[in-house]
Structure formats: C-alpha cells, structure tokens
Structure 1
Amino acid sequence: MKRSQFIRNSLLATGAVAGSGALHAFGHTPNGAPKQENKPFNLNYGPHQGQFENHAGKNILDQIQFAYDQGFRSIEDNGFSGRPVEEQERIGSLLAKLGMTMGVFVLDKGGNGANTLAAGKQEHVDIFLKGCRQAVELAKRCGGKYTTVVPGDFARNLPPDIQTANVIEALRRGAEILEPHGIVMVLEPLSDTPDLFLRTSTQTYLICKGVNSPSCKILYDVYHMQRNEGDLIANIDRCWDEIAYFQTGDNPGRREPTTGEINYKNLFKHIYDKGYRGVVGMEHGKSMSGKEGEVKLIAAYREVDNFLG
C-alpha cells in the first residue's frame, strides 16, 4: 500500500478527519471532486519539525516526506546547526531529491542576551562572526541560503544611536563573510521580551540600509510584528525592498492562521501580488493536539492560501 493511501485510511479509520476543509486538505472532497493531494500551495509554506509527528513519527526525514505529500515544498529548521553532520547531509539530500527548499536556520549564537551586538564588545562580535563562517558550511549541506540573526538585548549603558551603530558595524563584517556565498542573514525583530534591541520592522529597515548588503535583510515575522507595531500591510509596503523572508503565526496564541485576529488570506494575497515567491515559515504551534490538530493545521493553510481568482 502506498504511504499516502495508508495515511488516508488511517485517518478515516480513527475519525481524525472531520469537516470538508480537512478532507479537502488530505485529497478528499465530500462530493467526489478532484483530489488535491500533493498539489503545491500558491505560496511556499515551510513547516517545522514536530508539526506533523503524529502522522509521520519522530524522524525528521519522515516528517519532510509527509509535508511533501501534503503539498508543502519547503521546511524550516531553526536548530539545524545543532544536528550531527550526517543528519544535516541526509536532510539536504532528501530536500534535493524532492525539489524542496530549506528555509531559515538560526545562526549559531547569532545574538542573545549574553551576546549582544549592540554593546560593541569584540568578544561578542567574534562569536557572531564564527557563526557566520559556520553558516557557510551549513548552507552547503542543506542547500539553504537564509540564516536568522537576532542582534541580542539592549546595552542600556549606551545611547540608542551608538548601539545602532555597533549593530550595523558587526553586521557589515558578517555580510563580508556571507555575501560571496550568496547567503543572506535575515534580521528578526521580536516581541518575546522588551529587553531585545530589535523591535520593529522600520528599525530593522534602517539597519539594513546602514549595512547596505544583499546579505543583510529583514525577516518579517507577522506574529511578532502584529504584537509590536500592527499596521501590517502598510509596514510591509514601507519596508518591502529590504524584506527577504516571512514567518507566520496568528495572534493571540501564536498558532496556525484562522485561530486569531490576523487576516492571513488578505495578507498572503498582498505579498503574492507584490511578487513574493520565497518561503513563508510556519513558526508557530497548533491549536489542537494529536492527528486532529495536524489535519486542522493543513486545512487552515489550504483555507488562507485560497486567495486567487
């Protein structure tokens, strides 16, 4: 029995598939309409490890295959740098075989509360540059080109403009390492804590302009930007020429689209119409557990991806 048929039979047997939207996501429609299984989405959504483990099991390779079978054509792997080299290479080989894209992986020690680029300390910059050199090797193994960088916390003993200058100077040095290899560090403004230096899309835009490199762009995480600044579509337009990557998550709750206040269908149509065809990382949890939650997750993306026509 084919893997996809086994999954469908298992779902029907356990009652995990409920509702026409969920059935449609797994290749079924109540009236016998053409199946959608393996049909790619309009945008290139990238799931994370664990989002489909109830169907595919714990192995990341099986989860990638399952994601492909449901129409996804990319993944994200924040912890890719911490995997054994052999596993990294297996992931890269499977992605290449399936024609899938690796989205972002986090730059090792790319910035945190204990290692902030805003402080201007050489030891912090050295750690960051070491991560940039490592990212070159990681990208070769997985075929990816985007690595997430968070400049760390505020250095509150320094004026804000000096901190900004320190961040720009460090990022310029990182870009010198990455640019010859076509790798892009995407700066992510976050809402996790007010201690974080990078908070808004417009602040990140200014820094990218200061670095002035194709290897330093914005990671626009819709969930974080809804919390920190709102006015999503207008701010996307303001910062468009420096945005290289998107991530999702509804608010409140940081779960799949359709579970909160963000109109993802309109937002996705907007960036699609503007020409975005890159990875849209699914960096969020699920509103339901088990197989049922995974079915609901896929159905939610089919719903908000239905913006053409």
Structure 2
Amino acid sequence: MDRRKFIGSSLLAGLAITGVTSCVASNAIEMNPSSDILSLTDRQKWLAPFSCNIEQWFRPMPFLDRIDAAKALGFSAVEIWNPNQAKRGKTPESIAERAKSLGMRVTSYSPKPPPMADPNNAKKFMAWIETVISSGKTLNVRNFNLTGHRVVEGLSMEQMVSNYTQMLRLAVPRLEAENMVATIEPYNPFNHKGDFLYGNEPALSICREINSPSVKLNWDFFHMQRTNGNLITHLENGFDQVAYIQFADSQVENQPGTGEVAYGKVFTRLRELGYTGYIGAEFFPENKDNLRAASDLAKLAKSINLQPSV
C-alpha cells in the first residue's frame, strides 16, 4: 500500500475509534436536520477562533495523522507540545510539511526546558533556546509555551522565582533578536504537583519585572480556574501580559459545558479586551468523542458569535 492510501486508511480507522466515523457518516449528519451535531460547514465556520491541541485529541492515532483528523473535524489550526520527538514521529520538519500540505496552521508549541530555577542549568537552557528558535522558524510560529518551573530541592520559593527570572533574562536578547515570544505557562497545584508557578502570581509579576515583548503569559483558563477562580477579574488585571490563551473546563479537563466554567462569558470578555489570537483547545474530549467535542465547541462559539482569529 502506498503512503497516501496508508494514511487515508489509518486516518479513517482512527476517526472511527475516536468519534468521527467516515466521510459517509459526516454527510449523513449534515443531511439529518434532527441531529444535534453541527454540520461540517458550520463547524468550519465556528471553530475558526480555536486551535486544536492534537496532543490531547485523537489519541492513540499516529501523531501526524492527527493534523488530518483536526482538519476533518473542521479546525483550521493546531497546537502541539514538544516538536522534537522523532521516536514519536514528531520533528519540526515533518509537522510543518504535513500542516502546509493540508492548509493548516500551527499556532503554538510547548518544548520542555531544563529546570530553570537551578542556576547550574544556564548553559543547557541557552542551548535549548537555540533549538526552540530553530523549531519555531521551521514551524512558522513566533510563540512557544514555557514551563521549566519544577521545584528545586533546597531552595526557597523566593530563590526559585529569582533564579527562574534571571534565567529568562539570559534568553531575552536572543528572543528579541529573533522576534520570538516565550509565553510562561503557570500550572495548577492539583493536576501538576511539584511545580512552583501556579495561577496568575508570581508569573504575572515576573513578566512585568522583565518588561520585554518576548516574555509574556500563556493564560490557560483551566489552570487559572483551578488555582485562582474569578476568571474574568483576574484576566482583566493581567491582560496586558497575555500573549496566548488555552482552556479546558474545570475540574474535568474536558470541553466547555462539562464542568463549572461559564465559557461563553469568558470568551466574550476575552474578545472585548482585545485578544484577537487563537484560543487553544487544550482539553481531552469527553468520552474520547472528538466529533461531539468539536460540535459542542462550535455551538458555544455560535451562541456568542465568537469572531475568528486574525
């Protein structure tokens, strides 16, 4: 079997496993007005503001085929984690090639840095920054999510934050020269034990202290809700440092409508504040039903007339 036939058959098999059966099923849905699944045409329109996180969607489909699967559901953009994992079928070159062939855009990537609170990692971190910059150029993406905030034993919270900040300062000249943006992604203490950046602070203060267009925040609403709550007020207070957005419903980490967050109001306020970028759908589709999750997300966007990303 040649490569295109293999990809096509594996894609259909993967979609069948994960909630999208085939083009025939898709056509049947569109011709059935009583179905509560939005048509592909409607999904394409209303999923335009979102970027599908193909690390959490479409498991266990081969990685590159997940880009095809995201397009089949109606997405026009995807986000990824570490692109340099050749053993998992992931390289910046292969991802960029597949996305380009499908007319899909990569909006963000999340390579894993060495622990940045450990000053002994400075050389390793700067070598990692060069790899990150190279990957971004290949993927045609300016922004990457930055973590690296694992607890370092023997150091106080104040020492870890200071070391983390100083490590970032080392990278700023290279990032600014390449017009790249590192978006610090704080976690939450329930899903990510053993880190020291949770919720809006101290990450927000770190960005303001560094005061560079190349160091901003990935404001992940899932982590912010689990850590701080009061999503809209905190977003308003920190919006000047926001460069990228991700979300999942809390506490279940599935699509909006499965948990406690009024995402219609949150997304409406996000656009009112002036955020025009992609909104990263970094969640696990409930019951691994990707078609249902995509339709639910599109319905939410339609209900509030959420405008596409620009």
Q: 1:62-101 alignment to 2 at 5 Å?
A: 62-83=65-86, 87-101=91-105
What residue identity is the alignment partner of 2:68? Q
User: SS of the counterpart of 1:105?
Assistant: coil
For the aligned residue pairs, the C-alpha RMSD in angstroms reads 3.1
Alignment-derived partner of residue 225 in structure 2: 226
Contact 2:186 2:203 in 1 (8 A): yes
From 32, 35, 39, the counterpart of 1:20: 35
1:127-175 CA-to-partner distances (Å, cap 9, x unmatched) read 2222111001111211112222113233464443333222111101122
1:72-128 CA-to-partner distances (Å, cap 9, x unmatched) read 1211110312237984323213333444331222233x14xxx3x234x22x22222
C-alpha separation between the residues in 1 aligned to 2:155 and 2:56? 41
Determine if the alignment matches structure 1 residue 271 to structure 2 residue 270: yes
Q: 1:1-309 alignment to 2 at 5 Å?
A: 7-10=22-25, 20-22=35-37, 24=38, 26-27=39-40, 35-36=41-42, 38-39=44-45, 41-49=47-55, 51-52=57-58, 58-83=61-86, 87-108=91-112, 110-111=113-114, 115=115, 117-119=116-118, 121-122=119-120, 124-155=121-152, 157-191=154-188, 192-289=191-288, 293-306=289-302, 307-308=304-305
Contact 2:247 2:279 in 1 (8 A): yes
What residue identity is the alignment partner of 2:78? I
C-alpha separation between the residues in 2 aligned to 1:202 and 1:101? 31
Alignment-derived partner of residue 5 in structure 2: none
Query: More deviation in 271-280 or 130-139?
Result: 271-280
Aligned residues: 284
User: SS of the counterpart of 1:302?
Assistant: helix
Query: More deviation in 45-54 or 293-302?
Result: 45-54
Contact 1:74 1:102 in 2 (8 A): yes
Runs of 4 or more, structure 1, over 6 Å off, are none
Query: More deviation in 241-250 or 96-105?
Result: 96-105
Cα distance change of structure 1 residues 206 and 48 upon mapping to structure 2, 3 Å threshold: same
Contact 1:268 1:304 in 2 (8 A): no
C-alpha separation between the residues in 2 aligned to 1:277 and 1:171? 26
What residue identity is the alignment partner of 1:288? N
Contact 1:245 1:278 in 2 (8 A): yes
Cα distance change of structure 1 residues 171 and 87 upon mapping to structure 2, 3 Å threshold: closer
TM-score calculated relative to the size of structure 2: 0.80
Shift of 1:301: 0.8
Cα distance change of structure 1 residues 137 and 231 upon mapping to structure 2, 3 Å threshold: same
TM-score calculated relative to the size of structure 1: 0.81
Cα distance change of structure 1 residues 37 and 126 upon mapping to structure 2, 3 Å threshold: same
C-alpha separation between the residues in 2 aligned to 1:197 and 1:138? 27
C-alpha separation between the residues in 2 aligned to 1:285 and 1:258? 13
Identity %: 22
Cα distance change of structure 1 residues 242 and 50 upon mapping to structure 2, 3 Å threshold: closer
C-alpha separation between the residues in 2 aligned to 1:151 and 1:21? 42
C-alpha separation between the residues in 1 aligned to 2:292 and 2:110? 27
C-alpha separation between the residues in 1 aligned to 2:151 and 2:92? 33
Shift of 1:217: 0.7
What residue identity is the alignment partner of 2:142? K
